[in-house]
Every structure is written in structure tokens, then in C-alpha cells.
């Protein structure tokens, strides 16, 4: 498939997204129909997106390769996404030198997967470059930016998403209430790259997410905008932040163990979270976010004579399939102080649904009772069990959970 000989590119301003882009049609594919190129003022950010009609089916994450002007192949990992119109989209970002080559008319060959390749004629991009810049400037003014500041921008401020947000920034209240949304803000970025002000231009419909967007961005550091002489200047910037709830993975029912370690800094605040153990998730951000509120509450409620600074608060969990009345040793070592521990027995059916529950608690950090531990355990989703893998309709799952303190490791 391709975008045709002597492809026609058109300038599009998406009202819902307040975003300026160049679009061309794809030929030869029933599932992919348009190709978009978007960029910020000055071309510091360049992204190509292939769009297709919504089918209701998820596209798996996969690696794709591309080559510019017959050069060496490069690899990008692509994931499926859905825009506001419900159409599926695959996006790929390019480095500055790659963007310059494409705007110079270099042809692009993109192999999406073994069965789909796109040949892209980029010769029409350069002619519309100034129009995209002007469209982006008009967009900033429409959001409330001062026209005088906008007119001086040759290159917009820039920062990687990972430099602005981390896995612990999702508001705890929004996680509890299962709130998701997209907030668009108008920033004022100083010539040193600091955010001087932040105003919500389009709400996510949830005040807590809008507030968190500005509060998080205010601590970020950007590469400042440049004027037409290459000097750093103060400038406005529009930024869209999409808040997506972290997924809670199914709890494994084969034996596994994991430890979520929350480091406490010198101000007795939780500094970070990491995961250890055979049952550790590949991406700890989801479980860390879910547990963060509880951990902060425990830290704030700790007695004044308990020294928390420089220590780690550890949540250790072990799962064991099969009936057992013997407590599982969690291996507390020297200098580790147990705060509380629970042993919960559950019956799990082949679909992963939990049935009866009994629990016992040793120690007390917050005075939690057996019912609270069973309510939590019964609320989990467990991995489904194939009927042929078990000899009876139910299996028993024993969960041992301990909360303890230990000295923070050197270098952490």
C-alpha cells in the first residue's frame, strides 16, 4: 500500500484536539485509510500516525521497521491507540535529523508488520511547513496565549513525557473513583525552561485530574523555546495530558512471592517504589500507584517515636496453592521490624472467582480486622484455572502478607 504517486497532502486542524497536522490518503489497504504528520512549531517534535476505521478489536504491541531514502532500517515499538473519533491509530516518532530528511522529500518505507508495508511520498510536506507553523501559532492564540509572545517563537519548548510524569503522579482519589480523562493546558514556560503558570484550557471533566496536571507540570523542566535568532525565550505552550488508569494484573495462583518496597526520604515522605520477587510485575507502576495511598497513610499515622527517614516500608506477599495450615516464613532479617501480618485462606474456582475466605492477623499497624483482609482478597481477580488442570471444582489459595520496615539499602 502507499499514499499514491505525487501524493496530495492537506492541512487539517482537528477541532477536538486543537492540533494542526498534515494528512494524506492511503491506497491499497482495507484496514488503514489515512496517514497524518504532526509537529510542533519549529519541528522539534515530529510524529507520523497511520489511522484506520474502528473495529472493536485490540491491536497487539509489536515492533515495526522503517527506512528513510533507502538507508538502514530502524526499529520502533508501536502500540494501538484510539483517537476521539474511535478510529484505531498507530504512531511513530522521529528524531530531528530524520524529520529534516522527510521534510526534504526523502521517501519513507514503513513495514508495520510482516503483512503490511507502506511506501510514503513525502515531497509535499515541505510546501506546507510554514502553514503548519502558522496553524500552530493560531492555535496557541485561540487558547488564550499572548499574540506578541507567540509571534516570537521559532521553536516551541520541549520535554520528554518521562521527564514530566512518573508512575506515582496519578491522583490517589482518581484511582479510587476510577476516573480517567484528558486535560489540555496552556503553560507559560520561562527562558530557563521552568513552568511559570498553568491554566486548564479543556477540562478532563474531573477536577482532581485537572489539578494534578498543572501541579505535576509545574515541577517539570523543559528545553526552553527559541526565537528566530536561536536565543532562549519565555513562551506559551499548549499540552494535552491523557490520564489512563493503571491496570491491575490478575493475581497468580501458582506459588509466587513479591515485595513492593517504598523508600522513605529524609523528610519522611515516600520517594519511590520498586518491585522484587518471583511474582514481580514487568511494569510495577500499576500496583505501586494502587498501594501508594495506603502507604502514605501508614507513614503519616506512624508514632512520632518511630524513625522512618532513611528506611524502606516493605509489603511482602506470598501465594501458595493448596490447603495449608502452616504459616509461610517471609524471612525477616536483622534490622527488619514487623508491623503487621495476615494469613488468608481462599477457595478459587476454575474461572478465577474467589469463594469462601478466612483470615488471621498478627500485629497491628492500623488495627485492620479479619473482615477487611477477606474483603480485599475476595475483591481481587485471580488467574482462571483450566478445568483439566485440577481434580476438583475448587482450589484453595493461601495468601500471606506482611508489612515491615527495614533499613534503606545503600545506593538506593
Strand ranges (E), 248-336: 256-264, 270-276, 311-321
Radius of gyration of the chain (CA): 26
Q: What is the pTM of this model?
A: 0.60
Distance CA 259, CA 7 (A): 55
What mean pLDDT, rounded, does the chain reach?
78
Q: Which of 103-107, 302-306, 369-373, 380-384 has the highest mean pLDDT?
A: 103-107
Backbone angles phi, psi at 195, to 5 degrees: -85, 115
* Per-residue cell: 12: 487539517
Average pLDDT for residues 373-398, to the nearest whole number? 66
CA–CA dist 96, 100 (Å, integer): 6
Beta bridge partners of 197: 188
Helices marked H in 68-109: 96-103
> Is residue 22 pLDDT above 50, yes or no?
yes
Per-residue pLDDT at 393: 46
* Positive or negative: CA dihedral 307, 309, 312, 313: positive
**Pairwise CA distance, residues 112 & 78, whole Å:** 8
Do the domains at 10-129 and 143-243 have one common CATH topology?
Answer: no
Q: Given this model, what pLDDT does residue 15 score? A: 55
pLDDT at residue 1 above 70? no
The pLDDT value given to residue 102: 85
**Cα of 297 vs its chain's centroid, Å:** 24
Name the more confident of 143 and 51: 143
* Percent share of the chain, pLDDT over 70: 74
Whether residue 366 has pLDDT greater than 50: no
Find residue 318's DSSP bridge partners: 257, 400
pLDDT above 90 covers what percent of the chain? 18
Tell me which CATH homologous superfamily contains domain 10-129. Immunoglobulins (2.60.40.10)
More confident residue, 388 or 352: 352
DSSP state of 3: S
What average pLDDT does range 250-272 have in this prediction? 78
| pLDDT of 80 higher than 80 | no
β-bridge partners, 317: 258, 401
Greater confidence, 168 or 28? Answer: 168
Q: Is the pLDDT of residue 337 over 50?
A: yes
Sign of CA dihedral 387, 257, 248, 396: positive
pLDDT number for residue 79: 57
pLDDT band at 24, cuts 50/70/90? confident
pLDDT in tens, 167-204: 678 888 888 888 999 999 999 999 999 999 999 999 99
Cα dihedral sign for 294, 296, 297, 301?
A: positive
Domain ranges of the chain: 10-129, 143-243, 256-407
Cα 314 to Cα 115, 212, 292, distances in angstroms: 47, 27, 12
**Mean predicted confidence (pLDDT) in 32-50:** 78
Task: Return the residue matching grid coordinates 495530558.
Answer: 241
* Least confident window among 17-26, 85-94, 160-169, 213-222: 85-94
Lowest mean pLDDT among 28-37, 49-58, 287-296, 387-396: 387-396
- DSSP code at position 75: E
- What integer is the mean pLDDT of 118-131? 83
User: From residue 294, how far is each of 33, 267, 287, 361 by CA, in Å?
Assistant: 47, 18, 12, 18
Question: Per DSSP, which regions of 170-284 are E strands?
Answer: 181-189, 195-202, 225-226, 232-233, 235-243, 256-264, 270-276
Least trusted range by pLDDT, from 80-89, 172-181, 196-205, 320-329: 80-89
CA dist 177 and 180 (Å) reads 9
Residue 61 has pLDDT above 60, yes or no: no
Confidence of residue 30 (pLDDT cuts 50, 70, 90): low
- Whose cell is 497491628? That residue is 364
Specify the CATH number for 143-243; select among 3.40.50.2300, 3.40.190.80, 3.30.2420.10, 3.40.50.800.
3.30.2420.10
In the predicted structure, residue 391 carries a pLDDT above the cut 50: no
Q: How far apart are CA 231 and CA 225, in angstroms?
A: 8
**Could you please report the per-residue DSSP string of 50-118?**
EEE---S-PPPPEEEEEEETT---EEEEE-EEE-TTS-EEEEEEE-HHHHHHHHTT--EEEEEETTEEE
Question: Who has greater pLDDT, 54 or 286?
Answer: 286
Quote the cell numbers at residue 130: 510554514
Residue 54 has pLDDT above 70, yes or no: no
Amino acid at each position: 500500500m502507499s499514499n499514491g504517486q505525487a501524493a496530495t497532502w492537506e492541512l487539517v486542524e482537528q477541532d477536538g484536539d486543537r492540533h494542526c497536522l498534515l494528512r494524506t490518503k492511503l491506497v491499497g489497504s482495507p484496514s488503514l485509510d489515512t496517514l497524518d504528520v504532526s509537529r510542533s512549531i519549529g519541528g522539534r517534535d515530529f510524529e507520523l500516525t497511520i489511522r484506520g476505521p474502528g473495529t472493536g478489536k485490540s491491536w497487539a504491541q509489536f515492533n515495526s521497521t522503517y527506512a528513510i531514502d533507502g538507508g538502514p532500517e530502524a526499529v520502533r515499538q508501536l502500540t494501538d491507540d484510539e483517537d476521539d473519533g474511535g478510529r484505531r491509530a498507530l504512531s511513530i516518532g522521529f528524531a530531528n535529523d530524520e524529520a529534516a530528511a522527510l521534510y526534504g522529500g526523502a521517501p519513507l518505507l514503513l513495514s508495520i508488520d510482516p503483512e503490511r508495508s507502506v511506501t510514503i511520498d513525502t515531497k509535499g510536506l515541505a510546501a506546507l511547513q510554514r502553514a503548519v507553523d502558522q496553524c500552530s501559532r493560531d492555535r496557541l492564540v485561540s487558547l488564550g496565549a499572548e499574540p506578541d509572545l507567540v509571534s516570537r517563537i521559532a521553536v516551541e519548548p520541549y520535554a520528554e513525557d518521562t521527564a514530566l510524569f512518573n508512575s506515582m503522579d496519578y491522583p490517589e482519589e482518581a484511582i479510587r473513583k476510577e476516573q480517567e480523562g484528558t486535560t489540555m493546558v496552556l503553560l507559560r514556560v520561562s527562558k530557563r525552561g521552568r513552568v511559570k503558570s498553568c491554566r486548564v484550557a479543556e477540562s478532563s471533566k474531573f477536577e482532581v485530574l485537572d489539578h494534578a496536571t498543572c501541579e505535576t507540570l509545574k515541577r517539570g523542566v523543559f528545553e526552553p523555546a527559541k526565537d528566530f535568532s536561536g536565543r532562549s525565550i519565555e513562551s506559551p505552550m499548549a499540552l494535552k495530558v491523557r490520564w489512563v488508569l493503571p491496570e491491575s494484573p490478575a493475581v497468580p495462583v501458582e506459588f509466587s512471592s513479591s515485595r513492593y518496597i517504598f523508600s522513605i526520604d529524609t523528610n519522611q515522605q515516600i520517594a519511590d517504589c520498586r518491585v522484587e520477587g518471583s511474582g514481580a510485575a514487568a511494569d510495577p507502576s500499576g500496583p505501586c500507584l494502587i498501594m501508594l495511598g495506603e502507604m502514605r497513610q501508614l507513614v503519616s499515622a506512624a508514632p512520632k517515636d518511630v524513625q522512618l527517614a532513611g528506611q524502606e516500608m516493605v509489603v511482602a506477599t506470598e501465594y501458595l496453592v493448596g490447603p495449608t495450615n502452616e504459616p509461610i516464613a517471609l524471612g525477616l532479617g536483622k534490622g527488619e521490624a514487623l508491623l503487621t501480618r495476615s494469613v488468608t485462606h481462599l477457595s478459587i474456582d476454575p474461572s478465577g472467582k474467589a469463594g469462601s475466605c478466612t483470615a488471621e492477623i498478627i500485629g497491628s499497624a492500623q488495627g485492620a480486622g479479619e473482615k477487611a483482609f477477606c474483603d480485599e482478597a475476595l475483591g481481587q481477580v485471580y488467574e482462571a484455572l483450566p478445568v483439566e488442570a485440577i481434580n476438583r471444582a475448587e482450589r484453595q489459595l493461601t495468601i500471606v502478607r506482611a508489612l515491615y520496615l527495614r533499613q534503606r539499602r545503600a545506593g538506593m
